[in-house]
Amino acid sequence: MVIRLSERWPEVSPDRLLSECVPPPRFADVRFATYRPDPAEPSQTEALTLLTERAAVLAQPRQEPTLWSRLRGRTPAPGKPGIYLDGGFGVGKTHLLASLWHEAAGPKMYCTFVELTNLVGALGLRTAVEALSPYRVLCIDEFELDDPGDTMLITRLLGQLVGAGVQLAATSNTLPDKLGEGRFQAVDFLREIQALAANFDVRRIDGPDYRHRGLPTAPDPWPDERVEATAAERPDTSCDHFVDLHRHLAELHPSKYGALLDGVQAVGITDIRPLTDENVALRLVVLADRMYDRDLPLLASGVPLDQLFSAAMLKGGYRKKYLRALSRLIALARKS
């Protein structure tokens, strides 16, 4: 029987949301020893040294704040409580961040910026602060500063966690045409970003993308009938019409998109159409991330995947998210 994602209504407990905040399977085995810095890019070696040193500190059990530090409202710590790795695609930032998480003592958390905002949205800010305050370190991959609301929310969260003694580590993916741009200098919400920046030691990692340059070419889409027939033949493969799927995503909180894929080994989507609604597009970005984390092959019909987002979207404020989603969806389509 073919699985229909559009007919699933997963329920996700707060404990499950927190327990799933670990590096994705593709980074489960990375360590500092497996990172290979480019000899021509000294910033990569510097970042490796910096995070290795920080990991040695985080490997020790967390020291509880003294009475004096509680009275002052903060926990004393050497230097800034966070490290922020800024750079282009494919220079190994996620490898380093996951390696730091693996070395650190628990409790600890690893998530993307989108996952963190979804977690806070699902739990509420107050509950999220209470749940995360005992943590040794919070690692945030793909930090994004393209939404003022999310930025202000996470600024409040991280400010309270730092006050509780939680250490931070984060990465960002600067677009190729924006290399060198200060990631904490967005004009529209400068005050909030400066408050965030005060918590981080920002380090730049330079170097060419070791994977590829530019967006890969999308494979030719399959006919609808082939997607449906293949989904029916393969075990644990879902198949949904594109419109049914994105309408269903609108009815679920994004924190449930991972649970939506429980037990699924491949995803089929028929009649994919160019998007004009940014809300629909952003939901599909989150679904693409959850599919990519699980390495699920994509069976797709309709327009080629590189036509999913309009030219205007790829030039707009969320372009980084769309480019990442395209790269991941195309890679998953090639697996099928």
Model confidence over 92-144: pLDDT tens digits?
Answer: 899 999 999 999 999 999 999 889 998 999 999 999 999 999 999 999 998 87
Q: In 3-state terms, what secondary structure has residue 44?
A: helix
Residues 44 and 37 sit within 8 Å (Cβ to Cβ): yes
Domain with CATH 3.40.50.300 in the chain: 31-205
What pLDDT is attached to residue 71? 54
Q: What is the pLDDT along the chain (336 residues), one digit of tens a residue?
A: 889 999 999 999 989 999 999 998 889 999 999 999 989 999 999 999 999 999 999 999 877 655 555 555 544 445 789 998 888 777 889 999 999 999 999 999 999 988 999 899 999 999 999 999 999 999 999 887 767 778 788 889 999 999 999 999 999 865 434 534 444 544 544 566 677 778 888 888 887 655 544 566 889 999 999 999 999 999 999 999 999 999 999 999 999 999 999 999 999 999 999 998 999 999 999 999 999 989 999 999 999 999 999 999 998 878 888 988 998 999 999 998
- Distance between CA atoms of 282 and 12, rounded to whole angstroms? 21
- Distance between CA atoms of 261 and 293, rounded to whole angstroms? 11
What pLDDT is attached to residue 185? 46
What is the dihedral angle through the alpha carbons of 208, 209, 214, 220, rounded to the nearest 10 degrees? 150
- Distance between CA atoms of 89 and 213, rounded to whole angstroms? 9
- CATH number of the domain at 31-205, out of 3.40.50.300, 3.40.50.2300, 1.10.101.10, 1.20.58.1030? 3.40.50.300
Task: At 148, list the tokens.
Answer: 């003022």
- Alpha carbon distance, N-terminus to C-terminus of the chain: 20
DSSP, res 265:
S
Residues 104 and 137 sit within 8 Å (Cβ to Cβ): yes
| DSSP H or E run through 88 | none
What pLDDT is attached to residue 214? 56
What pLDDT is attached to residue 180? 42
Residues 58 and 104 sit within 8 Å (Cβ to Cβ): yes
Q: How far is CA 24 from CA 107, 118, 212, 290, 296, in A?
A: 17, 17, 21, 9, 13
Instruction: State phi, psi for 209 to the nearest 5 degrees.
Output: -65, 120
What pLDDT is attached to residue 66? 57
- Distance between CA atoms of 155 and 190, rounded to whole angstroms? 12
Model confidence over 239-249: pLDDT tens digits?
Answer: 999 999 999 99
What pLDDT is attached to residue 190? 59
Q: How far is CA 138 from CA 74, 98, 270, 291, in A?
A: 17, 11, 38, 23
- Distance between CA atoms of 209 and 211, rounded to whole angstroms? 5
What pLDDT is attached to residue 192? 66
Residues 283 and 40 sit within 8 Å (Cβ to Cβ): no
